[in-house]
A and B are shown apart, each in its own frame.
Chain A
């Protein structure tokens, strides 16, 4: 059972990283398409067909596909004015409730955005510019990104329940350099 859980967690990690690479590819494509558009306009007085539409649609990948990866690394912006002063037990309870609510909420959003994507695919939704561009492939980024985001909350909740470790502690242990951790500890004790 433990090895199965480890394998599942590893798969989840790889999937999050893969999606982050896809969104990194999206920003590279946005840069190249727009640069080509400017060069084509300046040199040949012509536009790259669909450049505006593709850049707008690729942007969706960039927003949603990196959400879970950022949550894993505790990179989202937070304010801990009250939380940081709570006793550890209270922090665990607050975080447990939050992770459960976030899991349910994003699971629900995954479902409704997937339904919306599917219906747009069936209807053949397009954006009309110089050329017609289908939108379903960009819309799909929303449920995919939200699904992994939701799963990350679930994994963090399981970790909290089984080991009592808060997710910011896990992220600090895995991703924050040792010297930063030591300095923070020193400041905490001084």
Chain B
């Protein structure tokens, strides 16, 4: 019990550092080290961390993440985003919502090649925003659309957030990835519907384009079918149990290289850039993961994790109410901390007792990923808004967050649907993996 006494000190130390622009991974690492030092002393703590850094970094399951990042970077550098976007505009540009609708549909296609919400937002910011602004689409709608539809990559496989959840919660990563398909498509469909209704009511929001003829439409598919087939191969391979997620990531990245090279879309400097970008993004993501692992190990050792777990199991509330409370906590944390840290800080504490109370862990994984998706677009630290701002500097944050508001309502609606209808998340994996 005495080890618990240091928790408020460590918590305050971490919170102060966090708001002072200190890198999140380093905050977690330093806070974890402080906590361990209070229990075991500084020398043993430094020895322990020095020894553990290798063990944390040498996991086969986690190596799926850089490979999917690589696949996404190749797809983006190889011009796949432009191809998918052009095809979506050719097929759907004449409908109410025009390019905004097309961007949402294109984001679904790109999400199947990239598991990173921020890179999806960045590439669509570069590709779709100039076109939207040229066509005089309402600035808020354009900004809100691109900042939000990027989050579809956090749900549609290969979602990096779902891989991380699977590893922390010790659940089947393939099942989680497959479970993300229906909620991801459902969210995209809800976005499309919302855009269609809004633009129908106020056509000035997004001028409709002339209908492309049949030949133009078929021509537009030329650039996308191979990448979509690759995305299908990756998802299908996981669904059929032929590949592990790491193998699917490697095949996806290699396939994307082959397709981009065959189309002469990759030069030697851009290949170099793709690998360097992947290396840099991986180190940025994984320093957070390393810090969060050290910090959650401290929470476990201090007895903090088990105290919270016991508290949850002892609550005299229905399961749905406890899950809803967990979602509220995730929403609050997600507004200020990135998804990976939030998962490492909360999943080891909350998911085991919830599973013990009868919750389906796959359903919980989808709820967590969905909630963290929402955190990516909510102020003050909606990461996607800042990514978009970096790519399109002429947008103000007020415009971006103002535009996100409508999409946020749709996100919350779909979250509530998944909360009350767990089959939306569990039906497909049950179908695929129950023999």
Contact = CB atoms under 8 A, between A and B. Distances in A.
Contacts of A64: 53, 57, 283
Contacts of A27: 66-67, 70, 275, 278-279, 282
A70 B66 contact: no
B337 A113 contact: no
Please indicate which of the listed interface residues B19, B20, B272 has the most CB atoms of chain A within 10 Å of its own CB: B20
Contacts of A158: none
B254 A32 contact: yes
B25 interface: yes
A81 B15 CA distance: 11
B284 A77 contact: yes
Interface in B22-38: 22-26, 29-30, 33
A34 interface: yes
Contact of A34 (B22, B58, B67): B67
B358 interface: no
B394 interface: yes
A57 interface: yes
A51 to B, nearest CB: 10
B53 A79 contact: no
B243 A62 contact: no
B25 A76 contact: yes
B393 A179 contact: yes
A98 B279 contact: no
Contacts of B390: 180
A84 B282 contact: no
Interface string A30-72: 1111110110000000000000100111111011111101110
Contact of B19 (A77, A81, A108): A81
A38 B63 CA distance: 15
Interface in A131-156: 135, 138-139, 141-142, 146
B62 interface: yes
Contact of A112 (B18, B49, B278, B337): B49
B205 interface: no
A7 interface: no
A113 B254 contact: no
A30 B23 contact: no
A183 interface: yes
A64 B23 CA distance: 15
B279 A20 contact: yes
B21 interface: yes
Contacts of B420: none
Contact of B46 (A112, A142, A183): A112
Contacts of A83: 19-21
Interface string B61-72: 011001100100
A162 interface: no
Contact of B247 (A38, A112, A117): A38
B253 interface: yes
B55 to A, nearest CB: 10
Contacts of B29: 105
A138 B62 CA distance: 16
B46 A109 contact: yes
Given A24-B279, A64-B283, A180-B393, A78 B23 contact: yes
Contact of B276 (A21, A55, A98, A183): A21
Contact of A184 (B33, B275, B276, B393): B393
Given A31-B67, A79-B381, A81-B380, A60 B54 contact: yes
18 contacts: A27-B282, A30-B67, A31-B250, A55-B63, A60-B54, A75-B284, A77-B284, A79-B24, A79-B381, A80-B21, A81-B19, A98-B17, A102-B30, A109-B49, A113-B53, A142-B53, A142-B57, A146-B53
Interface of B: 17-26, 29-30, 33, 46-47, 49-51, 53-54, 57-60, 62-63, 66-67, 70, 243, 246-247, 249-251, 253-254, 272, 275-276, 278-280, 282-284, 286-288, 290, 336-338, 380-381, 383, 390, 393-394, 396-397
Given A24-B278, A112-B47, 14 more contacts: A20-B280, A27-B67, A34-B246, A34-B247, A55-B246, A56-B60, A59-B59, A66-B282, A79-B19, A80-B19, A105-B30, A112-B50, A139-B54, A179-B393
